[in-house]
Chain A
Amino acid sequence: MSDPMRIRLQSAGGLTTVKVLMSHEMESGQRKDEDGKIVPIWNIQDVFATLNGRVVMSSEWGGGVSKNPFLQFVLKGTKPGDKLSITWRDNKGDTRTDEAVVS
């Protein structure tokens, strides 16, 4: 089971800034290990966010995102009590979802 994401929400006047710190090795597939062998690709490919169950942000990530990625975006039209969930999926088929509540 992967490590939890750390989600921080900062709300003011219907706008919520979402800051997410994800725990993931994000191997680009270009790095060589100590023995000179390529470390295989292992990275997050899709990230999406839902607000009260409705998808409000979706993204496809290519290579070049570094280890322990930090994602930030702004949502309009949020109210206190809204439930935000963030989900990532990686190329190995692992997935993780974490939630936070808008205050």
Chain B
Amino acid sequence: MFSFNTPFKFVLKHLGAALLYAYAWSAFAQAQQLGVSTDAALAQYRSMLQDANPADLYVAKGQALWTKARGPKAQSLESCDLGLGPGVVKGAWVQMPRYFNDTRRVQDLESRLVTCMEAIQGFNTQEIIAQDFSKGERANIALLAAYVSSESQGMTFKVPQEHALEREMYASGQELFYMRGGTHDFSCASCHTQDGRRIRLQDLPNLSTSAGAGFAFGTWPAYRVSMGSIWTMQQRLADCFRQQRFPKPKYVSPATVALSVFMGVNASGQVADAPGLKR
């Protein structure tokens, strides 16, 4: 049997501890709510990485390649027309893919670089297409892509839909985007049509929306930390198809360009931020 005083003393004696415990618990609960979620921690890590994007080193190399006389014809790429006139690099990338009169087809950046490398410098297109990514002239194209895309940094996407072929390519790109196939029934849409989803810890942009398409289309080419090299959009698409269990897309083939038209047009008005930095 307790006297009147004992419970009171008990409470007083333990009040401090009780209050402390209550405070700690509420602090913990609050921290849990605001707290460092997996997403927040990842975002913090990535913003720390942004500080020094090794892609900058590759942009400089790409710029050197652009102005260097190379290939069987020993010419530089300075007369290459990326859509805004011969040699105009600034702002060209945010208006690609587009229709080109000389080749009479819609071309993305890499397709157009290959055209210029053959027509102006004398390189062999079939050899470039047969080559593996990150090797030989394909490695040089990645550097050139890093440079050209950097010259559109901060500009908004204005991928044209004036020419009939540009519009057809958008429609085909959209069709392919939603095409279920392969052993796993995957389409691009399987992973890229919802907000806020991820594969393992890799966030997936929603390419059917302006913001998602703008982010994805606007940050490739990118320096891929895991690979220690620049990956272009063509390379990113090819690896997507590999993981979709599809057969291999040919380099700069119409289907790959169509997908870029689809993403690029969806990205209209969004800001380009290439070359990006990826895991």
Taking a contact as CB atoms under 8 Å apart, the answer to whether B52 and A70 are in contact is: yes
Give the interface residue-count category, chain A: 10 to 19
Tally chain B residues at the interface, Cβ within 8 Å: 9
A66 to B228, alpha carbons, bound, how many Å? 9
Which B residues touch A4, using CB under 8 A? 60
Q: Bound complex: CA of A4 vs CA of B56, how far in Å? A: 11
Question: B35-80: which residues lie under 8 A (CB-CB) from chain A?
Answer: 51-52, 54, 56-57, 60-61
Q: How many inter-chain contacts with C-beta < 8 Å in the A-B complex? A: 28
Q: A7 vs B57: C-alpha distance in the bound complex, in angstroms?
A: 11
Instruction: State whether B228 touches A67 (Cβ < 8 A).
Output: yes
A70 to B60, CA, bound (A): 17
Give chain A nearest CB distance to B44 CB in angstroms.
Answer: 16
List the B side residues contacting A23 at CB < 8 Å. 54, 57
CB pair B57 A6 closer than 8 Å: yes
Identity of the chain A residue whose Cβ is nearest the Cβ of B57 in the assembled complex: A23
A68 touches B51 (CB 8 A): no
Complex alpha-carbon distance, A19 and B60, angstroms:
18
A33 at the binding interface (Cβ < 8 Å): no
Q: Shortest beta-carbon distance, B46 to chain A, in Å?
A: 14
Enumerate chain A interface residues (CB-CB to B < 8 A).
Answer: 3-4, 6, 8, 19, 21, 23, 66-68, 70, 72
- In the A-B complex, the 5 residue pairs with the smallest Cβ-Cβ separation, listed nearest first, are A68-B54, A70-B52, A67-B228, A21-B52, A23-B57
